Amino acid sequence: MPSDKSNSIKIYNSLTGKKEPFKTITKGYVGMYVCGPTVYSNVHLGNLRTFISFDTIYRYLNHIGMKIRYVRNITDVGHMVEDSTEDRISEKARVEKIAPMEVVQKYTNDFHDTLKKFNLIPPSIEPTAQGHLIEQIELIKNMMDKKLAYEKNGSVYFDVMEYNKSNEYGILSRRNVEDLIHNTRKLDGQSDKKNPQDFALWKKAEPQHIMKWQSPWSLGFPGWHLECTAMSSKYLGEQFDIHGGGMDLKFPHHECEIAQANACFNTSPANYWMHANMLTLNGSKMSKSTGNSILPNEIISGDNKMLSKEFSPSVIRFFMMQAHYRSILDLSNDALLASEKGYHKLMDAVENLENLDTSSKTDFDVKGWVNNCYDAMNDDFNTPILIAKIFDVVKFINLVKAEKAEINKNDLKQVKTKLNEFVFDVLGLDKIKSNTSDDKIKSVVEILIELRDKARNDKDFELSDKIRDDLKNAGIILNDNNGKTDFTIN
Ligand code: AMP
Ligand code: ZN
């Protein structure tokens, strides 16, 4: 049963440019589609920001008891290299001299591993574009039957001008077709199009192209925009509640999805379009294709010249949650250091809460505080306001700990429950684990010390010295003292 909190959610709808009450198609149920990654390189922190934003939305809708089917695809074909006729995955396969499916597997694995580190909940369904070629071909036939798509030399294009006679191409990005046509350059290999704004639904493959499939029109491959229409309609229906992605997908990708759905099903696909804003690095958009990007692993290990130290995934997640998903967020070392401080303060309060003494009264409006937290999230998932509210209670907890304020047993229970729910279930933060990997290293070194002792007892000095020297090379110094060995980590 959804709680009454689900009645007061407002969502900023990019389609209308307004914050609107969230009314789902079926009460209590939500269908949400988010464009997933193109798996041709490691996921960068900018991508991660978008996925974390939608993960938090998913978490919150779950938290308030809605039944949500969350579909996030994997783009493993069709996303072209800018200004070229080559598919990004094919290009990578050529450069790395491996098969396209190896590229797909390698970067899908990286994507999943990274999302796990950052505590994202897997979507309900994660379909791939290659797994839905039949559905894509069917949609093309549908659009050709309606004369909204045309074939030329084995490729099929969406006819924007024809569509625009009874629909509005540009409705989402608020662009005007005439201006678009005027401003679009003619690219090589696009001369088959009736006008430059038409987009490919199916591309005939060049002979050297590796990723190609049989279709009624040619041996070729599908266009990028089409996959999302095929997969969203298959798993969520022709019309569903939320469609999300990064702001840079608004045009042309989402604009084309709207056109395709209108052409195929006579309906705009999603009622609410949500766009997460960009993560910037030194003021410019983080992007895989321009190289201005930082990898999640570099930030976790601190192995990047713009960072003074490593940061845990939870600190990075907390840093992202401190900005609203629709605001641009700039990444810098100082901002991460500040977030780390805040995150530790929060975790200390969560821990202190376990050992607070109670009394007969409470000097804090717990009920009002809980409502404020829900109000923040109901207002277009405003995580920075939620965090500000959370810090109201952190301040109070610290006062109680310092015996400058009081809390009764029931209120303590309520604060504990709600704080844990908001911090861990909704924001998706992890309890501090900074010592965990150290603890693991310590246990491993203890085992090696035992093995070294055994080797020494067995007079196998070659092995015992090797253990000591190899550990030293790894920065771990063994100190022998009165028959006992301890160690220091450099
Ligand atoms: P891609 O793998 O390039 O298709 O991107 C996957 C998702 O990440 C899309 O929703 C993009 O809009 C989003 N994205 C790409 N770059 C950034 C960025 N710098 N900040 C936030 N989101 C981004
Ligand atoms: Zn998409």
Give the model confidence (pLDDT) of 412-428 as tens digits: 999 999 999 999 999 99
CATH class in words for 5-276: alpha beta
Residue 355 buriedness (CB in 10 A; 0-12 / 13-18 / 19+): exposed
| CA distances to 58, 82, 258, 272, 287 from 71, in Å | 11, 26, 17, 15, 24
SS3 429: coil
Centroid of ligand 2 to alpha carbon of 220 (angstroms): 20
Candidate from 38, 40, 248 with most ligand 1 atoms within 8 A of CB, to mutate? 248
> What pLDDT digit, counting tens, does each position of 274-294 carry?
999 999 987 888 776 777 778
**Choice between 215 and 209, residue whose per-residue pLDDT is larger:** 215
Residue among 34, 47, 225 whose CB has most ligand 1 atoms within 8 A, to mutate = 47
The arithmetic mean of pLDDT across residues 176-184, rounded, is: 73
CATH code of 280-426, in short, is 1.10.730.10
Question: What is the per-residue pLDDT for 184?
Answer: 61
**Closest-lying ligand 1 atom to the alpha carbon of residue 281:** 19
Contact 335, 285 (CB under 8 A): no
Mapping DSSP onto H, E and C, the string for 166-217 reads CCCCCCCCCCCHHHHHHHCCCCCCCCCCCCCCCEEEEEECCCCCCCCEECCC
Distance set, CA 192 to CA 187, 189, 371 (Å): 10, 7, 58
Which residues line ligand 1 at a C-beta cut-off of 6 Å? 35, 37-38, 46-47, 49-50, 245-246, 248-249, 276, 278-279, 285-287
Mean pLDDT of 289-313: 88
φ/ψ region of 431 (left if φ > 0, alpha if ψ in -120 to 50, else beta) reads beta
> What would you measure as the largest C-alpha separation in the chain, in angstroms?
90
Over 50: is that where the pLDDT of 435 sits? Answer: no
Least confident of 41-45, 234-238, 404-408: 41-45
Of all atoms in ligand 1, which is nearest to the CA of residue 38?
A: 2
Domains 5-276 and 280-426 share a fold: no
Mutation probe of ligand 1 site: the residue of 39, 49, 50 with most atoms within 8 A of C-beta: 50
Prediction pTM value: 0.87
* Angle 165-144-169 from CA coordinates, rounded to 5°: 30
Q: How confident is the model at residue 359 (pLDDT cuts 50, 70, 90)?
A: very high
pLDDT value of position 166: 94
Question: How do the domains of the chain map onto residue ranges?
Answer: 5-276, 280-426, 436-489
What's the pLDDT tens digit per position in 115-134? 999 999 999 999 999 999 99
> Which pLDDT score is estimated for 2?
60
Whether 103 and 92 have beta carbons less than 8 Å apart is answered as: yes
Share of residues in the chain with pLDDT > 90 (%): 78
Q: Which ligand is nearest to the CA of 224?
A: 2
> Residue 188 above 50 pLDDT?
no
Q: pLDDT per residue over 87-119, tens digit each?
A: 888 888 888 999 999 999 999 999 999 999 999
Interval 448-457 mean pLDDT: 92
Residue 324 has pLDDT above 50, yes or no: yes
According to the model, what pLDDT value does residue 463 have? Answer: 93
Check residue 482 and give its pLDDT: 77
